[in-house]
Amino acid sequence: MSQQVIQLNDELNNLRTNQYGGIIGHSEEMQQVFSMVEKLKNLDTSVTIVGESGTGKELVARAIHNMGERKNRQFVALNCAAIPEGLLEEELFGHKRGSFTGAVADRRGKLEAAQGGTLFLDEIGDMSLNLQSKLLRMLQEREYTPVGSNEVKRLDIRVIAATNQDLHGMIREGAFRADLYYRLNVVEIALPPLRDRKQDIPLLCEHFLQRYAKEKGLNVTSIDEKAMRTLLDYNYPGNVRELANLLEYAAVVCDGGTITEKDLPPRLRTTAPAGAEQMPANLLTSLPLAELEKQAILACWDAFNGKMKVIAGHLGISERGLRNKLNEYGVLGKGGRS
């Protein structure tokens, strides 16, 4: 058998396993993701990864990079929602010394750091329209100019974008450029929420417990049947990230080597989180939409103990949008509920 045939068989067998490029799952949905990553890994085709917060979008982006021909160069991640709008352009393009007050030295941006490798633009929907136009030009011309500089720099990178927002809806509302969308979204990978692939939960639990044993020296190795049933019944608004956090908590408080139901947070034992009870129909129809939105956000703030990523994922909005709303309601500014 030739070396090429052996390699092909190895790749096909790899796709049938429960782990590929650091992504874990044996569900049909995740096997399709594995297959798509395998097809894309050596192509410079632009990819957009969509899915709720906590579904593993960056993990998939890293898999595309690490399994492909650019794996020996840098994978550079930029969260467009985590950086104030005024600083995002500088973070992306870099700047020249003296270009603005405080620019005491040249600074390279994420584009230069990712040269030859992959740039991962997370939460691309939070990028301003002005910066979207500059990003589009960079993608079209394959060149860019640092802030305050006249030097044009050539670019050799792969760009992968990700979002938990509805970009089609944002295009209709004029909040996202259609031409940039089509430039970025040549291929789309849609990641399913954990509630739609619950058959992967036992496998994920095994993975996380092994990781905590290695990283933290925790000697918890199993989960009893009742606790596993509770984990399977929960809907995970924070997706895989939330499952990882829940298991870390349970492994820390567990007294023996097996997690039992008493080791799990109490909120897992109900189908709806405490504090998020359904409003009566007459109240729903009597309140304006803005007030209903406020009540929903504040209920989730209580229910999920102020965990921004979990709340944003549950509500289907960006963390920046959630933070703006909480500031508007006076929650963050006062350190508590207004």
For residues 220-237, average pLDDT = 92
For residue 223, the SS3 value is strand
Give yes or no for residue 320 having a pLDDT over 90: no
Q: What residues contact residue 263 under an 8 Å CB cut-off, 6+ apart? A: 227, 250, 253, 254
Best CA proximity match to 82, nearest among 119, 127, 115: 127
pLDDT tens digits, one per residue of 149-183: 777 889 999 999 999 999 999 999 999 999 999 99
- Tell whether pTM > 0.75: no
In whole angstroms, give the CA distance from residue 110 to residue 192.
29
Q: What is the mean pLDDT of the chain?
A: 84
In the numeric block, the tokens 């007459």 are attached to 282
Whole-angstrom CA distances from 185 to 167, 190, 335 are 10, 12, 39
For residues 75-90, average pLDDT = 88
With beta carbons less than 8 A apart as the criterion, state whether 301 and 283 touch: no
Give yes or no for residue 12 having a pLDDT over 50: no
Give yes or no for residue 294 having a pLDDT over 90: no
DSSP 232-263: HH---TTHHHHHHHHHHHHHHH-SSSEE-GGG
CA 60 to mean position of chain CA atoms: 9
38-47, 57-66, 137-146: range with lowest mean pLDDT: 137-146
In whole angstroms, give the CA distance from residue 3 to residue 143.
40
Give yes or no for residue 7 having a pLDDT over 60: no
What domains are there in the chain, each with its CATH number? 3-192 (3.40.50.300), 195-269 (1.10.8.60), 281-328 (1.10.10.60)
Q: What residues contact residue 185 under an 8 Å CB cut-off, 6+ apart? A: 46, 48, 161, 167
Q: How many residues does the chain have?
A: 338
pLDDT of residue 276: 45
Q: What are phi and psi of 210, to 5 degrees?
A: -65, -40
User: Cα angle at 291 between 289 and 296, to 5 degrees?
Assistant: 95
CB atoms within 10 A of CB 257: 10
For residue 81, the SS3 value is coil
Q: What is the CA radius of gyration of the chain?
A: 22
Tokens of 46: 């632009």
Q: What are phi and psi of 244, to 5 degrees?
A: -60, -45
- Label residue 295 by pLDDT band (50, 70, 90): confident
Quote the DSSP letter at residue 280: P
pLDDT of residue 11: 47
Q: What residues contact residue 293 under an 8 Å CB cut-off, 6+ apart? A: 325
In whole angstroms, give the CA distance from residue 134 to residue 144.
9
Give yes or no for residue 280 having a pLDDT over 80: no
Give yes or no for residue 242 having a pLDDT over 90: yes
Q: What are phi and psi of 161, to 5 degrees?
A: -110, 160
pLDDT of residue 335: 44
Top pLDDT among 118 and 303 is at 118
End-to-end C-alpha distance for the chain, whole angstroms: 71
For residues 80-95, average pLDDT = 84
pLDDT tens digits, one per residue of 246-278: 999 999 999 989 999 999 988 786 544 444 445
With beta carbons less than 8 A apart as the criterion, state whether 109 and 94 touch: yes
